[in-house]
């Protein structure tokens, strides 16, 4: 009886521990480069993506009360955490909001031409337009408090980011900085609670030529070591490096052309828990391009040169015979061999080997022919 009772209690203990779900952290990296969003060709592309993304974030928070979300904007001048915000960011946002209300009070006696609907629509950003649809508020007051808090903070911070004055420098893609910031945030959370399962979702619109290969590969190796899957939602042309990121970290990569079914993609393909990755068949691409990028030109190369010190890939040999990544001196004799054109040799006729037995037969035949051909002497 004691053995049966012990066995029953052990099974009950295992079932209780297995029923408890560990919390999950979803790190969302959103590409907020306005130039790339305009090149998509759709008028309300960013607004539609924001609505679908908010639905996916609310679904993630609804699965477990302990689930958390961090949203990082990959902007032209760097990476910035949109949600959650710190106390300093909240104070700056409130100050900016009060300043806007004060400015609206001073401009209260403006003309009707300045207050026309056309002028208001021009000043509105896609983030602020995501709040309303056909005159109805997208974020309602009757929403669940946690959902409304996340949505309000996310939209307000994104609105202030997009409405800020852009820098004079040409826009760049800061995806490597955003990935490193997301991995740092995940590492900080996992040090406090080791049971937290984390994953990264990248919503990208930039092509490969705007991405930095070496910093992104370092982030991919770090995520692979931390066992954090990277899911990629590519909204433009194919991204070779992000395909490699999803394949190396057991993530999902999808190139989406139609934004109408984006909510379904977020709720199914990118919603797979890391513990179910080995069980569920992932809807990812099979044909993955594993080519690398040149360190100098940034172009994807098929065949190139590799530095033996830092494994830097080059499409052409530098003129100063030094590695541009680690500044190592290349061997001059090796460089001359690589620069030497291949020598083309002509076809040489090989002598035919004769069997010794056949050679003796030929010699005997020649002797017999010479003896029979000699005439008899006259008397």
Q: What is the pLDDT of residues 131-189, one digit of tens each?
A: 554 444 455 666 777 788 888 888 888 888 888 766 656 666 688 899 999 999 999 99
- Share above pLDDT 90 across residues of the chain, in percent, rounded to a whole number: 18
Q: Which of 166, 211, 158 shows the shortest CA–CA distance to 28? A: 158
Q: DSSP alpha helices (H): ranges in 107-239?
A: 117-123, 126-129, 145-162, 175-192, 213-226
Q: Is the peptide bond before 341 cis (omega within 30 degrees of 0)?
A: no
- Share above pLDDT 70 across residues of the chain, in percent, rounded to a whole number: 69
Sign for the CA dihedral angle at 40, 150, 94, 88 comes to: negative
Distance CA 139, CA 12 (A): 44
Query: Which residue reads 């010479």 in tokens?
Result: 370
Distance CA 247, CA 221 (A): 12
pTM beyond 0.75, yes or no: no
pLDDT reading at 233 higher than 90: yes
pLDDT reading at 237 higher than 50: yes
Tell me which H or E stretch contains 209. Answer: none
Q: In what order do the strands lie in the sheet with 24-31?
A: 78-83, 68-75, 24-31, 197-204, 230-234, 253-255
Per the DSSP assignment, residues forming a β-bridge with 198 are 25
Which of 28-37, 103-112, 304-313, 359-368 shows the lowest mean pLDDT across its residues? 103-112
* 3-class state of residue 30 by DSSP: strand
Sign for the CA dihedral angle at 28, 33, 34, 38 comes to: negative
Distance CA 85, CA 91 (A): 10
- Whole-number mean pLDDT of the chain? 75
Which of 129-143, 305-319, 324-338 shows the lowest mean pLDDT across its residues? 129-143
Distance CA 263, CA 56 (A): 7
Query: What domains can you pick out in the chain, each with its CATH number?
Result: 21-95+119-276 (3.40.50.410), 291-341 (no CATH)
Tokens of 230: 């990277």
Q: Residue 147: which residues within 8 A CB-CB, separation 6 or more?
A: 58, 61, 62
Sign for the CA dihedral angle at 95, 96, 97, 101 comes to: positive
Report pLDDT for 231. 93
What integer is the mean pLDDT of 230-243?
88
203 in Cβ contact with 233 (< 8 Å):
yes
Q: Residue 134: which residues within 8 A CB-CB, separation 6 or more?
A: none
Report pLDDT for 19. 44
What integer is the mean pLDDT of 203-213?
78
Q: Which of 67-76, 253-262, 320-329 has the highest mean pLDDT?
A: 67-76
């Amino acid at each position: 009886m004691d053995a049966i009772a012990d066995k029953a209690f052990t099974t009950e203990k295992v079932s209780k521990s297995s029923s408890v779900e560990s919390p999950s952290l979803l790190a969302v990296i959103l590409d907020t480069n306005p130039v790339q969003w305009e090149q998509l060709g759709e008028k309300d592309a960013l607004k539609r993506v924001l609505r679908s993304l908010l639905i996916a974030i609310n679904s993630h928070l609804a699965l477990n009360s302990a689930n958390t979300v961090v949203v990082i904007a990959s902007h032209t001048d760097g990476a910035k955490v949109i949600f959650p915000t710190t106390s300093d960011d909240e104070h700056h946002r409130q100050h900016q909001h009060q300043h806007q209300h004060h400015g609206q009070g001073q401009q209260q006696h403006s003309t009707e031409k300045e207050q026309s609907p056309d002028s208001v629509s021009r000043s509105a950003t896609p983030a602020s337009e995501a709040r309303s649809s056909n005159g109805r508020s997208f974020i309602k007051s009757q929403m669940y408090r946690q959902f409304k808090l996340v949505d309000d903070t996310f939209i307000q911070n994104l609105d202030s980011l997009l409405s800020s004055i852009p820098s004079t420098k040409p826009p760049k893609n800061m995806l490597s900085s955003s990935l490193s910031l997301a991995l740092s945030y995940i590492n900080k959370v996992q040090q406090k609670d080791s049971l937290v399962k984390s994953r990264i979702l990248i919503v990208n619109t930039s092509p490969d030529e705007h991405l930095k290969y070496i910093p992104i590969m370092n982030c991919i190796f770090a995520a692979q070591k931390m066992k954090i899957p990277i899911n990629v939602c590519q909204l433009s042309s194919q991204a070779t490096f992000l395909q490699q990121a999803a394949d190396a970290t057991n993530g999902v990569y999808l190139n989406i052309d139609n934004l109408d079914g984006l909510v379904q993609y977020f709720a199914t393909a990118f919603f797979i828990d890391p513990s179910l990755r080995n069980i569920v068949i992932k809807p990812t691409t099979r044909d993955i391009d594993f080519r690398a990028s040149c360190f100098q030109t940034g172009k994807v190369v098929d065949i190139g040169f590799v530095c033996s010190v830092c494994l830097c890939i080059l499409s052409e040999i530098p003129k100063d015979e030094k590695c541009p990544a680690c500044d190592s001196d290349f061997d001059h004799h090796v460089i001359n061999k690589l620069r030497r054109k291949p020598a083309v040799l002509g076809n040489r006729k090989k002598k035919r080997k004769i069997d010794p037995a056949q050679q003796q037969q030929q010699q005997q035949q020649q002797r017999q022919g010479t003896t029979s051909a000699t005439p008899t002497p006259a008397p």
